[in-house]
Amino acid sequence: MALLTRAQIDTAEDRIYEDVPVPEWGGEVRLLALSGTERDAYEASMVRVGTTGKVAGVNLQEKSARLLAKCIVGEDFERLYTDKEVAALGARNGKVITRLYAQAQKISGLGKDAVEVAAGNSEPARSGPSTSA
């Protein structure tokens, strides 16, 4: 396989999305996978830093709604909820939120250990062997 150029990388359409039925709400919602920057920001939002600058714990408050607010988009792929509107989304049916959250995690490459990795309590994934001398 040929090496990609920066232009090819920059123009690649690699953000996936999924339209998920939500019968409780009377239709479907579109979930757009997080970009790398959005994923990093979401993971960072889960970490509480203490006064010493070290990790003091994890922030799980509204974690499901925070992720969904970043992933639920309209037909134009623009977010339907801003970061300031997370509480309104979180007030919806918890069963629906949990189901959508699991799907948003899946398409964004987030898993159960995302909190541990963000908090620095987990070993980072090992990389393959280097080909540099």
Residue-level pLDDT at 132: 43
Q: Using an 8 Å Cβ cutoff, are 48 and 42 in contact?
A: no
Residue-level pLDDT at 82: 96
CA distance 60 to 44: 11
CA distance 15 to 8: 14
Q: Classify residue 72: in a domain, yes or no.
A: yes
CA distance 105 to 114: 10
CA contacts within 13 A on the Cβ side of 56: 6
Residue whose token pair is 């953000």: 15
CA distance 93 to 43: 24
Write out residues in the chain with pLDDT < 50, as ranges. Answer: 115, 117-118, 121-133
Residue-level pLDDT at 10: 95
Q: Classify residue 73: in a domain, yes or no.
A: yes
Q: Classify residue 40: in a domain, yes or no.
A: yes
CA distance 98 to 105: 10
CATH assignment at residue 36:
3.30.2220.20
Residue-level pLDDT at 5: 97
Q: Which residues of 64-89 are buried (b: 16+ CB within 10 A; e: fewer)?
A: bbbbbbbbbbeeeeeeebeeeebeeb
Residue-level pLDDT at 122: 45
Residue-level pLDDT at 48: 85
Number of domains in the chain: 1
Q: In which domain, by residue range, is 23 found? A: 16-119
Residue-level pLDDT at 55: 83
Residue-level pLDDT at 116: 52
Q: Classify residue 110: in a domain, yes or no.
A: yes
